[in-house]
């Protein structure tokens, strides 16, 4: 994504230079970077972002405004879009919380809620203190990571602008978007990666051990992967394509979750000695369904926002295509999963259908900008089918993934990254190198981290806590207090 931003900056610099030569606006309003004579300034400094509604009306209804947006208007729209798309992606954390808390047994639902709000907070702090710098600051072509400096904040030009120095406006606008709007949009992607790990390890991982791993994941593991790709590092230099993160976000979370499940192990009694699998149905099916719908909604910000601009007709058309493809892929994933659930799982399975939606969304995320929409249907359908088959495959390997995070995010993410070669012009060899290198680093580093945590603090709760439930044993608060806690017998 950052490579695209750099290219966009160059375009904005050229536009800005041309506009300034044409006209220099007055000091009582934010400079309009060359509005044609007689045209009104619609963004007075005192009004600020409160004039955004007027801007949108101008863009939609005035032919002159549609013909060419000045640099400052593009800056405002780009910044505003980063913030809105980012808020939608942040809302995906609510979706993950609903999905996971509804998927576990009632005795563990409160811990799931605490884990999800905790991981979002850790992700935000870690990405502020060190993660963003590793991912983006000082990364050149061929680099393995960026800077290890601490903290990240607004630019000196933006500080000068806030202090009332009108001369700083040109430098601020030249950047194309507000510095912290970009940080915010990038940060919520980190939180999404962390959320994937939570559901896979539900009902048997220690709370603080989980939080420590999330800190390592969001402060170092994910930023390093991001620096290789979106930051402009060595994989980006090779031509690796992943528009919004099928591999960079979702497979990274899937690899980390897989490593955790192998170290922590399965829930007690999940896989019996006779080879059968203990069924652990979700405690709240409507909550799971609502969670998936929230994720579906948030994905429009996830993929649409990855256009990284809303500065003109080209971006508007591109985002429309991206959102349409995102929706088509999810719908195809649902129907493929439902259709395949009976022959694979022996029943028409609601949860398989819900996971199919996520699988379709993950699969299309690597290349949602394809113009031929039927490819989105095909890619999404295969992603949904992969989820169903993956669920059965993990059971056969005796790997306990409570919410099906590994099939939905890792398996479907690998497929989506390869599908870029079919529909979006990706190079197969480069895509494979990217998948393997990212998988090796994330799985290896995550496995070592989980191993160290397990040998020091302990990664798994005690059998007594697992039997009684983490809500009562660790938190002293039940998600459904009117229910009677019934410890399960083996």
Domain ranges of the chain: 2-74, 76-475
Per-residue pLDDT tens over the stretch 233-255:
999 999 999 999 999 999 999 99
Cβ burial 107-143 (10 Å sphere, 16+ → b, else e):
bbbbbbbbbbebbbebbbebbbebbbbbbbeebeeeb
The helix (run of H) or strand (run of E) holding residue 378 is: helix 373-396
Sign of the Cα pseudo-torsion (360, 365, 367, 373, in order)? positive
pLDDT reported for residue 276: 87
Instruction: Out of 57-66, 107-116, 246-255, pick the least confident.
Output: 57-66
How many whole angstroms separate alpha carbon 181 and alpha carbon 189? 13
Per-residue pLDDT tens over the stretch 147-158:
888 989 899 999
Question: Alpha carbon 353 to chain centroid distance?
Answer: 21
Q: Would the pLDDT of 39 be above 90?
A: no
Contacts of 32 (CB under 8 A, 6+ apart): 23, 25, 39, 41, 43, 70, 72, 73
Closest CA to 250 of 306, 288, 205: 306
Angle between helices 109-126 and 207-216 (to 10 degrees): 30
Question: Which 3 state secondary structure label does DSSP give 233?
Answer: coil
| DSSP designation for 100 | H
Q: Would the pLDDT of 200 be above 80?
A: yes
For residue 277 the two structure tokens come to 């699998």
Question: Which 3 state secondary structure label does DSSP give 164?
Answer: coil
Closest CA to 222 of 193, 263, 242, 202: 193
Supply angle C-alpha 124, 159, 128, rounded to 5: 15
pLDDT reported for residue 60: 45
> What is the chain's Cα-based Rg?
24
Question: Which 3 state secondary structure label does DSSP give 460?
Answer: strand
- Asked if 153 and 180 count as a contact pair (C-beta separation under 8 A), the reply is yes
Specify whether domain 76-475 bears CATH 1.10.3430.10: yes
How many whole angstroms separate alpha carbon 443 and alpha carbon 152? 28
First-residue to last-residue Cα distance in the chain: 49
pLDDT reported for residue 362: 98
Question: Which 3 state secondary structure label does DSSP give 29?
Answer: strand
The pLDDT of 130-155, averaged and rounded, is 86
- Asked if 243 and 305 count as a contact pair (C-beta separation under 8 A), the reply is no
Confidence of residue 68 (pLDDT cuts 50, 70, 90): low
pLDDT reported for residue 486: 59
Instruction: Out of 82-96, 145-159, 257-271, 346-360, pick the least confident.
Output: 145-159
**β-sheet bridge partners, residue 44:** 29
How many whole angstroms separate alpha carbon 317 and alpha carbon 278? 49
How many whole angstroms separate alpha carbon 237 and alpha carbon 382? 29
pLDDT reported for residue 425: 86
The pLDDT of 180-190, averaged and rounded, is 96
pLDDT reported for residue 17: 39
Cβ burial 441-462 (10 Å sphere, 16+ → b, else e):
bbbebbbebbeebbeeeebbbe
Residue found under tokens 């199919």: 356
Question: Alpha carbon 372 to chain centroid distance?
Answer: 24
Contacts of 275 (CB under 8 A, 6+ apart): none
**β-sheet bridge partners, residue 460:** 205
Residue 64: count other Cβ atoms within 10 Å of its Cβ. Answer: 9
C-alpha dihedral, 393 to 412 to 449 to 265, nearest 10°: -20
pLDDT reported for residue 26: 40
For residue 211 the two structure tokens come to 């939080």
pLDDT reported for residue 58: 43
- Asked if 244 and 302 count as a contact pair (C-beta separation under 8 A), the reply is yes
pLDDT reported for residue 489: 59
pLDDT reported for residue 323: 98
Residue found under tokens 């607004």: 154
Burial class (CB in 10 A: 0-12, 13-18, 19+), 60: exposed
Confidence of residue 346 (pLDDT cuts 50, 70, 90): confident
The pLDDT of 77-85, averaged and rounded, is 96
pLDDT reported for residue 281: 87
Confidence of residue 143 (pLDDT cuts 50, 70, 90): confident
Per-residue pLDDT tens over the stretch 396-448:
999 999 999 999 999 999 999 999 998 888 899 999 999 999 999 999 999 99
Q: In sequence order, what DSSP letters do the residues of 37-58 get, joined into one string?
A: TTPPP--BTTTGGGGHHHHHHH
pLDDT reported for residue 280: 87
- Asked if 366 and 243 count as a contact pair (C-beta separation under 8 A), the reply is yes
Closest CA to 45 of 58, 28, 33: 28
């Amino acid at each position: 994504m950052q490579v695209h931003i750099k290219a966009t900056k160059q375009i904005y610099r050229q536009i800005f230079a041309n506009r300034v030569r044409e006209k220099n606006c007055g000091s009582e309003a934010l400079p309009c970077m060359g509005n044609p004579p007689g045209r009104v300034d619609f963004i007075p400094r005192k009004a600020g972002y409160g004039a955004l509604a007027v801007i949108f009306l101008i863009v939609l209804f005035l032919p002159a405004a549609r013909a060419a947006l000045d640099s400052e208007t593009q800056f405002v729209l780009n910044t505003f879009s980063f913030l809105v798309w980012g808020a939608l992606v942040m809302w995906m954390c609510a979706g993950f919380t609903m999905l996971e808390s509804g998927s576990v047994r009632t005795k563990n639902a409160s811990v799931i809620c605490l884990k999800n709000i905790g991981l979002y907070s850790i992700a935000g702090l870690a990405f502020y203190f060190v993660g963003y710098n590793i991912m983006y600051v000082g990364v050149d072509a061929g680099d393995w990571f960026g800077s290890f400096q601490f903290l990240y904040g607004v630019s000196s030009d933006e500080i000068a602008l806030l202090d009332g120095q009108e001369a700083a406006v040109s430098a601020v606008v030249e950047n194309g978007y507000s510095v912290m709007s970009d940080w915010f949009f990038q940060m919520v992607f980190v939180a999404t990666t962390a959320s994937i790990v939570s559901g896979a390890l539900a009902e048997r991982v220690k709370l603080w051990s989980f939080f420590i791993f999330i800190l390592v994941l969001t402060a170092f593991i994910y930023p390093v992967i991001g620096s290789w790709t979106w930051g402009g590092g060595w994989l980006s230099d090779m031509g690796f394509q992943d528009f919004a993160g099928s591999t960079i976000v979702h497979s990274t979370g899937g690899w980390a979750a897989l490593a955790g499940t192998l170290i922590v192990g399965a829930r007690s009694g999940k896989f019996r000695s006779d080879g059968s699998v203990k069924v652990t149905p979700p405690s709240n099916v409507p909550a799971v369904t609502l969670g998936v719908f929230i994720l579906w909604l948030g994905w429009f910000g996830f993929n649409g926002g990855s256009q990284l601009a809303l500065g003109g007709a080209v971006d508007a058309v591109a985002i429309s295509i991206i959102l349409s493809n995102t929706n088509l892929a999810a719908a195809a994933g649902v129907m493929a999963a439902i259709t395949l659930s009976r022959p694979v799982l022996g029943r028409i399975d609601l949860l398989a259908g819900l996971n199919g939606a996520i699988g379709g969304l993950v699969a299309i995320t690597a290349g949602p900008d394809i113009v031929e929409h039927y490819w989105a249907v095909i890619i999404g359908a295969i992603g949904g089918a992969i989820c169903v088959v993956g669920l059965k495959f993990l059971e056969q390997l005796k790997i306990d993934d409570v919410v099906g995070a590994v099939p939905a995010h890792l398996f479907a993410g690998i497929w989506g990254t390869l599908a870029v070669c079919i529909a979006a012009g990706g190079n197969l060899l480069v895509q494979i190198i990217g998948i393997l290198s990212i998988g090796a680093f994330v799985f290896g580093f995550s496995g070592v981290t989980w191993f160290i945590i397990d040998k020091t603090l302990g990664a798994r709760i005690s059998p007594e806590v697992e039997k009684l439930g983490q809500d009562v044993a660790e938190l002293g608060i039940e998600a459904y207090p009117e229910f009677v806690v019934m410890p399960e017998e083996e």
